[in-house]
Amino acid sequence: MASNANELMPMKAGSTVALVTPFTEAGEIDVPALRGLLRFHAESGTDGLCILGTTGESAVMTMGERELVLRTAVEEVKGLMPILAGTGTIDPAHVREMTLQAMDLGCDASLVVTPYYVKPPQRGLVRHMLSCADLGLPVVMYNVPGRSGSDMTPESIAQCAGHENIVGVKEATGDVGRVDAIRSLLAGDEELLLLSGDDGTDADFTLRGGDGCISVTANVAPRQKHELMMAAIGGDTEAAAAIGGPLSSLNGDLFCEANPIPVKWALKRMGRIPTGYCRPPLDELDAEFHPRLEAALRTAGLI
C-alpha cells in the first residue's frame, strides 16, 4: 500500500476504469486475478479506479465479498490512484452501510447511483445525494437514466454541487450537451468533476469541457483511454481522433450484451483473467458475438 489508508486522495480528471470483478468458474471472487488487473491499471497510467459498480457486479455480492474486493484494491493501489467505490442502491439505509464500509476500509470516494426502479422525484434525488455526502466520504453522483429509470436534471445536479463532499458527477446519458448545461448552473466558486459514463461519446464530452470518463473500455485499453482523455482535456481534437478511432468499434461492441458480459469475455480473450464467468442472472457471452468482439479487439490492436 502506497500511503496511509486514512488519507483521502482527491478524485481527478482523466480515465477512471469501471473495473470488472473476476470470478472463478465456481463463482467465487478470484483475488489473484483481481490483483493482476489492479496492477495492470497501475502500470498503464489509469487515472482512477471505480470498483464495485455495475461493471463489478456489485448487486450480487454480500457485504463480506465487498470487503474482500475493497481491501484488495486498497492493498494494491491506495495512494497510486483514487479509489471510487460504488455504494448506490435503492434503500438509503443500505447505501449508508456500504458507504461507511468503504470509508472504513480506506476508499477515497463513493459512487452513488440515483435509486433505480422506484423513480424518485427530483427533490428526492437531491435529498438522497446530500444525505450520502453528509456521511463524510466524497461523493460522485451517478446519473444513468437508461438503467435507473430516472434522470437527475442539470438543475438538481447543480443544487447538490454546493455540498463540500459532492465532488463530481458521472453522466451516462450520452448527451454531450450536459457539460454546458451543468457548468452554466454552477456558482462561480463551485468545482464539480464532470465525468462521462458513455464510452462512445466520452471524448466529445471531454472536448466540450468535461473532465474525463468512468469507462468500461478502459478495462481492456487502459493506456489508450488515458491518452485519449489527456488529448481531449488538452483540446487536441486531432490527437483525440487518432487515438479514439481504433477504439470506436470496441466502444460499441463491448455492449453487444449486457455489461459486463462482453468486457469479461474480452479480458479472458486477452489473457488478463482466467474466465469470463458472470454471476446469475447474467451469463457468459453468447458464442454468436465472439467473432464480432474478436474483430473489435484486433482493430484496437489489443490482440
Please tell me which residue in 116, 117, 142, 268 is annotated as part of the active site: 142
Residue 268 annotated among the catalytic residues of the structure:
no
- Terminal C-alpha separation, the chain: 31
Q: Is 79 left (phi over 0), alpha (psi -120 to 50) or beta?
A: left
Identity of residue 143? N
How far, in Å, CA of 228 to CA of 129, rounded? Answer: 30
Residue 117 annotated among the catalytic residues of the structure:
no
Q: Is 52 left (phi over 0), alpha (psi -120 to 50) or beta?
A: left
Please tell me which residue in 170, 225, 264, 268 is annotated as part of the active site: 170
CA distances in angstroms from 177 to 58, 144, 153, 173, listed in the order given: 30, 15, 12, 10
DSSP string, 272-284: SSS-----TTS-S
Active-site residue list = 142, 170
